[in-house]
Structure 1
């Protein structure tokens, strides 16, 4: 592999440095480095971050290749600045055996755009009745460490306890989709003033909060790790904050769309805003931003949920839930957290690279930008402003809530172990 010299970038938004990549590794970080035979990337004014890591990506393959494939999803990830993603288990067939997770892992290796770490299902078929082959998936070539029935809640307390006990043997983590099913039957959006005005079935905050409260108690009881997926309410924030104050091993994520969008957008009846968990109130949004800033919420995860046109371009009640998010995540975080002064770029690296890699126990990612480390890197132009045009997405699906919206920042280059996967904002 050839050498690459990134010249004049602000490392983690701080001091300006040159970074020399030699093969798969960062060879040197300094000032006025000699280019020699290296390819030079002029990066004045740009921010150099460790490659982003997503804990929550739906790649749909196997089974829903009309929505996304591992190849198209990892291309989208690279464009968004990600060098690793965790692929959720709600595929067809469900990723509840060693064979399926190894298939996803192999497809990720073949794609070459970013690393793919499969997440295994907690229960067989996501049915919530019987534990899946957690040990076999961990011992497989995929080395699964995170387990989730995302899309469905592990609502049976006994099953959840058993899962938490099982993963302790290999320092695994159970990632919970917190949704009490009895409280959300027929729910279409956040329960509140807007749902009452529109006459749509309400999804109460307590449906999320009650499961989180139960699960942090279970995790503390058995001494295991629990991760809360896509936190969306102010009440959920307070429960996680309380659990952490006890010293319990609890982590949580928030999506970019829950940091920016509110349930007022549902007044348009545009199904692009239909998502699980639903968009909440402005008060919830502000609480989530504060919690991400103070570390109560550990990381940002996209919950990238691609759907084909026919599944979203229909009446609200019939539309699928979910939004694509890999290609816009960093821009939304810049708008909501950096440009508002809540986080600096070093903290963005912490919430979008260091911590998600640590939670997922992902080797080779979430590492400092320093000599000897793997050259998984993301170069961002924070001064860029542009309108979101899904026609240019690398993802196979177009169900973005940001179409036509101006967002700041642009990933100009992504490097996966020293190889450029994105150059000047386009796939290499």
Structure 2
């Protein structure tokens, strides 16, 4: 079993310390540590965090391997500092049976760049009419605890209630893509001044907010857990804040792109900015940042949504919705939350590692950087600034909205249970 000594790292952004990894475990944390025969990593003041956990990733396999595979997606995850990702169910075939979720889970086990926890579909085929095999998926080798029809909303209140009742029996959670379909027919971007000026179909904030309001009330009625995917509006923030004040068991996530970008970007008609839910206004961005800082929004999740070139390099109306995000997420969070003083690095560890691991029940992840804990770690050069170059991405797709943009921070090392998956910015 190998030993690794990380020397002089700022653990959670604090004072420099040494961290000794012995095999799969953190053996010691302190100053002046030494270990005979250990590989020494001179951290030089870099920030050491628990390995990041993404509760919302699209790995596309099975069915859309032209855009991403479990292998390429987990390589992208390791490049971004992630040691665990939760894979959404909108694959082909849909991950609505024990067989499909086990396939995805086993692929993650085989490739070894990060742990892959499948998310099971709530309804058969994501069609919203009949509950999928929730119990069978939970009892499978994959041990599914999070269920979502992400990409589509569970818009039938009766189906949503039944799903909440079902997962309550084993402590699961339903992760809702909040989008009232009747209010978003033909929608292309956020409904507002910019959509009116551009003549593009508007996507009103109320289409998200009305579903969240319904679902937190259903969760309260049932006494179950609901998680809100990619929350994007100031109104949604207020509904979640109200629900938490009542003691409703609701959690929520925000994506990096909703923390940084606004609907003004759509004036370029560049489909790289086309995403679901759409980019919102500056007011919404401000509300999302404040809510992430004060804990109303629990976590950052990437909604990593890879697409092949031909699905994005076309006219706006025909383009697919979504952005890749695993390899830039931490940089965007540093830009929007840390460098603005809204969060410290301990807060980043909470929102991007500890809390998502807790919500998804990712065993061994999101743990403190302390002796006896699994050595799932990421080392970040926070002083680095550089332009985003998608040509260097590990993801199979390149649909990033940040190409050519200067962002801070660079993940230099990632360890999964003591095994280096990224060294000096290069995948092992």
Normalising TM by the smaller chain, what interval?
A: over 0.9
Per-residue CA deviation, residues 353-377 of structure 1 (Å, 9 max, x unaligned), is 0000000011000000000000000
SS at match of 1:170: coil
Partner of 1:308: 308
- Tell me the equivalent position of 2:420: 420
User: What's the CA shift for 1:34?
Assistant: 1.0
List per-residue Cα deviations over 1:173-206 (Å, max 9, x = no partner): 0000000000000000000000000000000000
* Count of aligned pairs: 428
2:34, 2:360 → 1: CA distance? 37
What is the distance in 2 between the residues matched to 1:372 and 1:248? 34
Partner of 1:360: 360
Alignment of 1:110-129 (within 5 A): 110-129=110-129
Between the aligned partners of 2:311 and 2:35, the Cα distance in structure 1 is 51
| Partner of residue 370, structure 1 | 370
What is the match of residue 270 of structure 2? 270
Name the residue aligned to 1:334: 334
- How is 1:205-220 mapped onto 2 (pairs within 5 angstroms)? 205-220=205-220
Which has the higher mean CA deviation after the structures are superposed, 331-340 or 28-37? 28-37
Verify: 1:189 aligned to 2:189, yes or no.
yes
User: Match for residue 99 of structure 1?
Assistant: 99
**C-alpha separation between the residues in 2 aligned to 1:294 and 1:356?**
16
How far did residue 15 of structure 1 move? 1.9
CA offsets per residue over residues 331-369 of structure 1, 9 Å max, x none? 000000000000000000000000000000110000000
Q: 2:282 — aligned with what?
A: 282
* 1:35 CA displacement: 3.2
1:267-300 superposed Cα distances (whole Å, 9 cap, x missing partner): 0000000000000000000000000000000000
Task: Report the 3-state secondary structure (helix = DSSP H, G, I; strand = E; otherwise coil) of the residue aligned with 1:59.
Answer: coil
RMSD: 0.4
Give the gaps of 5 or more residues in structure 1. none
The secondary structure found in structure 2 opposite 1:372 is coil
Secondary structure at the counterpart of residue 333 of structure 1: helix
- List aligned pairs for 1:18-417, cutoff 5 A: 18-417=18-417
Alpha-carbon distance in 2 for matches of 1:134, 1:41: 44
Aligned equivalents of 2:364, 2:402: Cα separation in 1: 32
Cα offset, 1:36, TM superposition:
1.3
Aligned mates of 2:167, 2:15 — CA distance in 1 = 41
Instruction: Find the residue that maps to 1:378 and give its secondary structure.
Output: strand
Q: Deviations over 1:152-188 (max 9, x none)?
A: 0000000000000000110000000000000000000
Aligned mates of 1:60, 1:406 — CA distance in 2:
28
TM-superposed CA distance for 1:314, in Å, is 0.1
Separation of aligned partners in 2, 1:231 and 1:317: 23
**Cα displacement string for residues 247-267 of structure 1 (whole angstroms, at most 9, x for unaligned residues):** 110000000000000000000
In 1, Cα distance between equivalents of 2:92 and 2:169: 28
1:404-426 Cα offsets, whole Å, 9 max, x none, are: 00000000000000000000011
C-alpha offsets along residues 129-174 of structure 1, whole Å, 9 cap, x if unaligned?
A: 0000000000000000000000000000000000000001100000
Query: C-alpha distance in 2, partners of 1:410/1:337?
Result: 16
Mapped partners of 2:321, 2:419: distance in 1: 35
- Kindly state the Cα deviation for residue 243 of structure 1 after the two structures are TM-superposed: 0.2
CA distance in 1, matches of 2:303, 2:24: 29
TM-score between both structures, scaled by the size of structure 1 = 1.00
* Bigger mean CA deviation after superposition, 31-40 or 78-87: 31-40
Query: CA–CA distance in 1 between the matches of 2:39 and 2:133?
Result: 47
SS at structure 2 position matched to 1:53: strand
1:81 and 1:199 map into 2 onto residues whose CA distance is: 40
Output the CA distance in 1 between the equivalents of 2:212 and 2:161.
Answer: 13
Shift of 1:44: 1.4
Instruction: Provide the C-alpha distance between the structure 2 equivalents of 1:21 and 1:131, rounded to a whole number of angstroms.
Output: 44
1:8 alignment counterpart: 8
